Amino acid sequence: MRQVLLTVSVLALIVLVGSGLNAHFVTANPPAQPEPAAEPASLGQEYTLETAMRDGRMVYVGAGGAIDGVINPKLTAQSGESVRVTLINGDGMLHDFSIEGLGVQTPLLSAKGATTDIVFSATQAQAGTYDYYCTVSGHRQAGMAGKFVVRR
Amino acid sequence: MNGILIVLRTIHIVAGVLWVGSAIFYLLFVEPTVKNLGPAGPKFMQDLIDRRRYPLFMNAVSALTVLAGLFLYWMASGGLQMAWVLTGPGIGFTFGSLVALVVYAIGFFMLKPRAERMGKLGQDIGRTGGPPTPEQVAELHTLGEEMTAIGRWDAILLTVSLIAMATARYWTF
Ligand SMILES: [Cu+2]
């Protein structure tokens, strides 16, 4: 009985500390809501991706523009131009968006309908093809991956 | 979201380190030392179990590891999505979790009652003040042997689970 009580109280503490930390992280994570002043004058590319389950796989689905409805669409950008990627959590599972080689990483989203976006640009020296994917363990392998091409 | 995950991972990994570390420490160091101590052995065990509450500690760290692990598993798997379970990491984490659950059950249903019985016997012996009766010596001996045998499997399986957990994210199939 005592052990059960101990376990339950520790878990309650986890949730409390967790939600506190959560609030801290949301406010301490500017990439989630970039300051308007820090944004480049002109946005070259804007992409919106929504997470979903398709044919038994976890995927990103393009929303709007040329990538609308495309599963794990190929994203492209000119070097030097700024890119905004908006991520919409469409399935209520834990997801994020990351391009390891370009240092692009959004916060994790877990609530259905939650969104986050990130603005970045690549230099000429970074021209090439990169993988974008979800960093939650197993999600990349479960299908959440696509290509991001930086043209010179 | 990141905050909750960080806290859950911290609990899971810290409690897991204490669980696996203690199981291996018991098997490789405590148990042989107790055997070599002769008559002082049962006294040492009684103190470890009754006063230092070793079974309670093991129960708490294993329960915390399992509970935080279940939350993490549920979150990463998107609520047990087969698309995730069948990936390399999914198989690794599922395998590691199942092995750890078996070890948890062994600890709860097989090790804990024996440790408690050992503590009780030690108390009885301490209360009479005299040397233990031959029956008590025999029972302590049997309990010790059983705990060693079970503890060995416990430590081996926990190590297997630990390796699976630590490497799962890199598994490919
Ligand atoms: Cu994901």
In chain A, where the domains are located:
1-30, 43-151
Mean pLDDT (chain A, rounded)? 82
- Write out the residue range of the structural domain in which residue B32 sits: 2-170
ipTM > 0.90 (yes/no):
no
Q: What pLDDT was estimated at residue B45?
A: 86
Closest-CA residue to B111 (of B50, B161, B55): B55
Which residues of chain B approach chain A closer than 8 Å at the C-beta? 1-8, 11, 56, 59-60, 63-64, 67-68, 75-79, 81-84, 87-90, 93, 168-169, 172
- Does A38 score more than 50 pLDDT? no
The C-alpha of A80 sits at a distance from chain B's nearest C-alpha, in angstroms, of 30
**Integer CA distances (angstroms), A8 to A20, A66, B67, B68, in order:** 18, 50, 10, 12
Higher pLDDT, residue B129 or B11: B11
Give tens-digit pLDDT for A92-142.
Answer: 999 999 999 999 999 999 999 999 999 999 999 999 999 999 999 999 999
Q: Which residues of B touch A53 (CB under 8 A)?
A: 78, 81, 83
Cβ neighbors of A25 (< 8 A, separation 6 or more) are: A107, B2, B3
**Which of A22, A138, A142 is nearest residue B3 as measured by Cβ atoms?**
A22
Domain spanning A43-151, CATH class: mainly beta
> How many structural domains comprise chain B?
1
Between the CA of B166 and the centroid of ligand 1 the distance, in Å, is 20
Residues 1-60 of A with CB under 8 A from B: 3, 6-7, 10-11, 14-15, 17-25, 29, 53, 56-58
Q: Map residue A108 onto helix, strand or coil.
A: coil
Partner-chain contact B4 A20, CB within 8 Å: no
**Which of A19, A109, A136 is nearest residue B76 as measured by Cβ atoms?**
A136
- Does A34 score more than 50 pLDDT? no
- Please, is B103 exposed, middle or buried when counting C-beta atoms within 10 Å of its C-beta (0-12, 13-18, 19+)? buried
CATH number at residue B150: 1.20.120
